[in-house]
Amino acid sequence: MDLTANRQVGASLRLVVWRSRFVVAACCCGLAAWAVVAAVRPAPPPTLDVLVTAHDVTTGHTLTSDDVTTVPVPAALAPATLLRDPDEALGRTTVVDLAAGTPLSASVVRPGGPAGSAPPGTVVVAVRLTESGWLRPGDRIDLVATDDGGTRLARRAQVLPPAAEDPGAGTVDEPGARLLGVPDAGDSTGVTLVAVSPEEAPAVSASSGWGAIAPVLVP
Per-residue model confidence as pLDDT tens digits over 81-140: 888 888 888 888 887 788 898 888 877 777 766 667 778 788 888 888 888 888 888 899
User: Are 99 and 164 found together in one domain?
Assistant: no
d(C-alpha 91, C-alpha 81), whole Å: 18
User: Are 87 and 172 found together in one domain?
Assistant: no
In the DSSP assignment, the letter for residue 170 is S
SS3 76: helix
SS3 140: strand
User: Are 122 and 104 found together in one domain?
Assistant: no
User: Are 167 and 181 found together in one domain?
Assistant: yes
Higher pLDDT, 186 or 8: 8
Length of the chain: 219
Q: Give me the CATH number covering residue 81.
A: 3.90.1210.10
State the pLDDT confidence band at 56, using cuts at 50, 70 and 90: very high
CB burial of 82-119 (b: ≥16 within 10 Å; e: otherwise) equals bbeebebbeebbbbeebeeebbbbeebbbebbbbbbbe
> Residue 65, Cβ neighbours under 10 Å: how many?
11
User: Are 8 and 81 found together in one domain?
Assistant: no
The pTM assigned to this predicted structure is 0.48
Contact 119, 195 (CB under 8 A): yes
User: Are 138 and 190 found together in one domain?
Assistant: yes
**Domain that includes residue 29, residue range:** 2-40
SS3 29: helix
Mean pLDDT of the residues in the chain: 74
State the pLDDT confidence band at 12, using cuts at 50, 70 and 90: low
What number is the average pLDDT over the span 191-203? Answer: 89
Alpha-carbon Rg for the chain, nearest whole angstrom, is 34
User: Are 99 and 170 found together in one domain?
Assistant: no
